[in-house]
């Protein structure tokens, strides 16, 4: 049986011939224009509605196979697939507890991650303080805002084999944090097995090897 190749960001639902689409919602933010596009698509094509996922994303469910291409065209850039997922809290833009600007750093991190081709999917969490609302310690890459800068966490996972990530460095400014992340990912690209998530990679090679790679 031939495996169906779907556009990136489109998933088959349990019901045959029905799909879901996750519109582009960078860092959990969505503009009025984007909302209008999504709303018009839902109404025009009679979709059941929009679901807010646990990861700050929207999901259009109940998309029939025969309308999939048309709906993707109507969504336009809003329907584009995000290569590497970055979750960020509101940070200093709205939260009184925040120590760092999580949204601005999240945008930098997403742009930075898009320069890599990695052996497996990764998730990143950027939290403006140690309350870790973006679950930074159970993400492949985590940033935690502290009074004197960012702590970089690597190798976390919240799946069925939960792993708390390891702190690689602390008290870093934005550029220093990206340098550490880039060095860790470079080592990961060179040494990881295909489809090996960072949590399993760190368990295999040891966190000290990761720390040595970032200098």
Residues 50 and 117 grouped into a single domain: no
Q: Any idea what DSSP says for residue 121?
A: -
Q: Determine the pLDDT at residue 4.
A: 66
Mean pLDDT over 151-180 rounds to 97
- List the beta strands (DSSP E) in 7-83: 10-12, 18-21, 50-52, 58-64
Using the 3D structure, point to which of 79, 101, 136 is the last residue of a domain.
Answer: 79
Q: How far apart are CA 66 and CA 52, in angstroms?
A: 24
With respect to residue 3, please indicate whether it lies within any of the assigned structural domains.
no
Residues 69 and 171 grouped into a single domain: no
Mean pLDDT over each residue of the chain, to the nearest integer: 92
* Own/partner pairs, 40-46, CB within 8 angstroms, 24+ separation: 40/74, 41/71, 41/74, 41/75, 44/74, 45/70, 45/71, 45/74
Using the 3D structure, point to which of 79, 94, 128 is the last residue of a domain.
Answer: 79
Residue 173: give its domain's CATH number: 3.30.413.10
Mean pLDDT over 168-191 rounds to 98
The domain in which residue 90 lies consists of 85-214
Q: Determine the pLDDT at residue 113.
A: 96
The residue written with tokens 């990695």 in the block is 118
In this structure, are residues 214 and 180 in contact, taking their beta carbons and an 8 Å threshold? yes
Confidence of residue 76 (pLDDT cuts 50, 70, 90): confident
Using the 3D structure, point to which of 56, 79, 102 is the last residue of a domain.
Answer: 79
Q: Determine the pLDDT at residue 96.
A: 95
With respect to residue 91, please indicate whether it lies within any of the assigned structural domains.
yes
Q: Where are the alpha helices (DSSP H) in the chain?
A: 32-44, 68-75, 102-113, 174-191, 198-205, 207-214
With respect to residue 141, please indicate whether it lies within any of the assigned structural domains.
yes
Residues 34 and 71 grouped into a single domain: yes
Residues 110 and 152 grouped into a single domain: yes
Residues 194 and 94 grouped into a single domain: yes
With respect to residue 5, please indicate whether it lies within any of the assigned structural domains.
no
Mean pLDDT over 144-161 rounds to 97
Summarised one tens digit per residue, pLDDT across range 191-203 is 999 999 999 999 9
Please determine, for residue 3, whether its predicted confidence score (pLDDT) is greater than 60: no
With respect to residue 67, please indicate whether it lies within any of the assigned structural domains.
yes
The total number of structural domains that make up the chain:
2
Total-model pTM: 0.86
With respect to residue 201, please indicate whether it lies within any of the assigned structural domains.
yes
Q: How far apart are CA 28 and CA 143, in angstroms?
A: 17
Helix axes 174-191, 207-214, angle to 10 degrees: 120
Summarised one tens digit per residue, pLDDT across range 12-69 is 998 889 999 987 777 878 889 989 999 999 999 999 988 887 766 788 999 999 999 9
With respect to residue 132, please indicate whether it lies within any of the assigned structural domains.
yes
Please determine, for residue 1, whether its predicted confidence score (pLDDT) is greater than 50: no
Residues 102 and 167 grouped into a single domain: yes
Q: Determine the pLDDT at residue 179.
A: 98
With respect to residue 2, please indicate whether it lies within any of the assigned structural domains.
no
């Amino acid at each position: 049986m031939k495996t169906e190749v779907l556009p990136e960001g489109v998933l088959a639902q349990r019901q045959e011939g029905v799909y879901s689409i996750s519109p582009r919602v960078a860092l959990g933010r969505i503009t009025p224009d984007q909302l209008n596009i999504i709303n018009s698509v839902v109404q025009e094509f009679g979709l059941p509605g929009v679901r807010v996922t646990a990861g700050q994303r929207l999901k259009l469910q109940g998309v029939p196979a025969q309308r999939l291409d048309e709906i993707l065209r109507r969504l336009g850039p809003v329907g584009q697939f995000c290569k590497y997922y970055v979750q960020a809290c509101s940070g200093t833009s709205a939260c009184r507890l925040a120590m760092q600007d999580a949204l601005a750093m999240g945008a930098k991190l997403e742009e930075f991650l898009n320069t890599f081709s990695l052996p497996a999917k990764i998730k990143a969490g950027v939290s403006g303080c140690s309350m870790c609302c973006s679950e930074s310690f159970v993400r492949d890459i985590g940033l935690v805002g502290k009074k004197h800068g960012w702590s970089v966490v690597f190798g976390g996972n919240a799946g069925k084999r939960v792993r708390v990530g390891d702190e690689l460095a602390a008290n870093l400014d934005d550029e220093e944090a990206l340098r550490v992340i880039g060095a860790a990912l470079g080592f990961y690209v060179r040494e990881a097995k295909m489809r090996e998530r960072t949590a399993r990679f760190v368990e295999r090679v040891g966190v000290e090897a990761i720390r040595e790679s970032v200098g």
